[in-house]
Amino acid sequence: NGSAEAVDGEAVIHVVSTEGNNWDCQFKQSGLELSAADYYMLSFDAYATVERPIQMEFANLGTASQTIVNLTTEKKTYRIYFTDVNETEAASILFMTGNVNGCLGDFPAVGSHDVILDNVALYKAEKSDIEAAFAPKIELAEQAFLGNDIILSYTENSVWEQSDIRVLLTGE
């Protein structure tokens, strides 16, 4: 249900149809040699000519890992981590661009379109790398008024707890 080509250094996946299964149209890298590690990080830039989800899958790692990423029409960097990886010479990264979420959950069914991938990188990571890459959610505890102190709270994150955190309020 599609094809792929390199255009200006990016992988352009031409999706003809999103009918059928999520794996009916996929882009993958197989035969990856990975050493055993607690954490690996996959980083990539992606966008599509229509808003739609894709499913990321990592195969033959000794651990199951699937993630759905909701693409927009603007290029964005995505980071996905996975844990407890066994040593392997046959790992695969799969970008499933077929019928994800019953095509496509909160997204309308789409016809022919392109999914574009760039700067795909897979590397061994430390827990601190993972925590630093995934910033905690910051929330305002109560309504803020000019000239008054405010209280911010954030989800637990050991990297952030040890850091000097500064917040810029723009008034927007």
Cα(117)–Cα(26) distance, integer angstroms: 12
Q: For the CA atoms of the chain, what is the radius of gyration?
A: 19
The per-residue pLDDT for 123 is 87
* pLDDT band at residue 114 under the 50/70/90 scheme: very high
Tens-digit pLDDT profile for residues 128-156: 777 777 666 666 667 777 777 777 666 66
pLDDT at 112 over 90: no
Q: pTM score, two decimals?
A: 0.72
Q: What is the mean pLDDT of the segment spanning 87-96? A: 85
Structure tokens that stand for 14 in this block: 């031409």
Angle at 73 between CA 83 and CA 22, to 5 degrees: 50
Q: Phi and psi dihedrals of 16, rounded to 5? A: -85, -40
Cα(56)–Cα(58) distance, integer angstroms: 7
pLDDT at 63 over 60: no
